[in-house]
Amino acid sequence: MPQPLPQLRRDLDFFPSPAPEHPGLFLRDPFRYSDAMLVVPPLLVECLSCFDGRQTDLDLRAALVRLTGDLDTGRVADYFRQTLSQAGFLEDEAFEKMRAAKRQAFAAQSVREPAHAGSAYPADPAALRQTLAGWTEGCGAAGGSLRDGNLAAIAAPHVSPAGGWQSYRAAYGALRPEHRDRTFVILATSHYGAPESFGLTRKNFRTPLGEAVTDTAAVDWLAKRAPGSVEMEDFCHSFEHTVELQLVFLQHALGAGVRIVPVLCGPFAHSILEGGKPEDDDSVKAFCEALGELQDREGDRPLWVLGVDMAHMGARYADRFQARAGEGKMQEVHERDRERIARIEAADPAGFWDLVQQNRDDLKWCGSSPFYTFLKSVPGLRGELLHYEQWNIDEQSVVSFAGMAFGR
């Protein structure tokens, strides 16, 4: 009996080819287990469906015969399968070895190296300082009644700073030199982390500005307090941008050696899809309780930083319309975003989550789990919206985000 072909990995990114001279489907690995990037020609795109874990090489060859009219398809079928395997795009032995090697290498590192220097922001320290100075010019110059000794938390985007600098500026403008010795508990979106889980690491974080120090005692305490809720040395930390972008702004504002507790928050998918509250899941409940105990134990030392974006609308995000910031459908999104923000400002996690659950979060707020985790873990903080905006991440798609501050 012919053996089934390996299954195509479901966690890959799939986009139309960005190169008009090379049409087809663009494939890449968001987890960076593989550095390969492939453009599958239009003729072969349909053949990807043969890699479903059930169909065999005979089915692949039959599909090629049907598509090409050529009976001699064996060489093309073999090459296609080998190319996908060598790229690490199939659930096979080659990928398992690739994944194990990358996870082991990250676990062995003493420092989390910058993954987005040179792309999301300049890699050269002098150029980065100059760029950050431009993005944050006028920080704290206006607005915000919580810009004083009462500050307990800020929320900033994790979108590209080139598009979201005004919201970054609003949030980080709330910081003052006297905050330098605080411990910054960073709750950031994990775009690829497991649902209802939290990713921790003991590693220090390096950026072009220097090395931020991870409070390993706090990390170890959280892992001990809620062991079933966390993945320690979560590989997502190696490539996720949501903590890294907060760090460059923190370091610019307060110095390279800031002390941090980096936490990646996976999506609360079960609650959105099935109903109920996120804390109905024992893992979410245990970790929120652990964070609350950390706050109670440390008193005024923690200062919370949320790395969060809001709505994701338009063609890039599987909507059947072209989104333009501030126009048409996005005016309604603005109103709905502000409803959710009002619940956050009011320290109302239940009301906020009721709005997230509407239509199974059709606004696609990737920051909903960090926001909810914060509201449940550190209750009673008054929030203040400092700046809200929408940005066209491409011509047909929009991301919304904001800068916020929270005080007691």
Residue 353, judged by CB atoms within 10 A of its CB (0-12, 13-18, 19+), counts as: buried
Is residue 265 within 8 Å of residue 198, measured between CB atoms? Answer: yes
Residue partners of 298: CB distance under 8 A and separation at least 6: 183, 218
Cα–Cα dist 374/370, whole Å: 6
pLDDT the model gives residue 142:
45
- DSSP E strands, 21-150: 25-28, 37-40, 111-112
Neighbours of 97 (CB within 10 A): 12
Number of separate helices (H) and strands (E) present in the chain: 13, 15
Token match 């090395």: residue?
211
Residue partners of 253: CB distance under 8 A and separation at least 6: 136, 139, 172, 175
**SS3 of residue 257 by DSSP:** coil
What's the distance, Cα to Cα, between the start and end of the chain in Å?
68
For 68-125, write each residue's pLDDT tens digit: 888 888 899 999 999 999 999 999 999 999 999 999 999 999 999 999 999 999 999 9
Question: 3-state secondary structure string, 19-43?
Answer: CCCCCCEEEECCCCCCCCEEEECHH
Q: How far lies 55's CA from each of 63, 78, 169, in Å?
A: 11, 15, 53
Residue partners of 303: CB distance under 8 A and separation at least 6: 151, 152, 153, 154, 179, 182, 183, 184, 185
Long-range contacts of 9-16 (CB under 8 A, 24+ apart): 9/88, 9/89, 9/90, 9/91, 9/95, 11/192, 12/89
Residue partners of 114: CB distance under 8 A and separation at least 6: 123, 206, 207, 208, 244
Strand partners of residue 25: 16, 40
Helix (H) or strand (E) holding 374: helix 368-377
Helix (H) or strand (E) holding 304: strand 302-307
Cα–Cα dist 321/149, whole Å: 45
Q: How far lies 340's CA from each of 312, 336, 348, 400, in Å?
A: 15, 7, 10, 12
pLDDT the model gives residue 313:
98
pLDDT the model gives residue 143:
46
Cα–Cα dist 22/24, whole Å: 7
DSSP string, 149-164: TTEEEEEE--S-HHHH
pLDDT the model gives residue 303:
98
List per-residue pLDDT tens for the chain, 408 residues long.
789 999 999 999 998 998 889 999 999 999 999 999 999 999 999 999 999 999 999 999 999 999 888 888 889 999 999 999 999 999 999 999 999 999 999 999 999 999 999 999 999 999 999 999 999 987 664 445 565 568 999 999 999 999 999 999 999 999 999 999 999 999 999 999 999 999 999 999 999 999 999 999 999 999 999 999 999 999 999 999 999 999 999 999 999 999 999 999 999 999 999 999 999 999 999 999 999 999 999 999 999 999 999 999 999 999 999 999 999 999 999 999 999 999 999 999 999 999 999 999 999 999 999 999 999 999 999 999 999 999 999 999 999 999 999 998
DSSP string, 323-360: --TTSTHHHHHHHHHHHHHHHHHTT-HHHHHHHHHGGG
Cα–Cα dist 326/9, whole Å: 36
pLDDT the model gives residue 72:
81
pLDDT the model gives residue 145:
59
- DSSP-assigned letter for residue 5: P
Domains in the chain, please, with CATH?
13-105 (no CATH), 111-407 (3.40.830.10)
- Residues composing the chain: 408
pLDDT the model gives residue 408:
85
pLDDT the model gives residue 144:
56
Residue partners of 234: CB distance under 8 A and separation at least 6: 190, 193, 199, 200, 201, 264
Is residue 238 within 8 Å of residue 107, measured between CB atoms? Answer: no
Strand partners of residue 385: 404
Cα–Cα dist 219/202, whole Å: 7
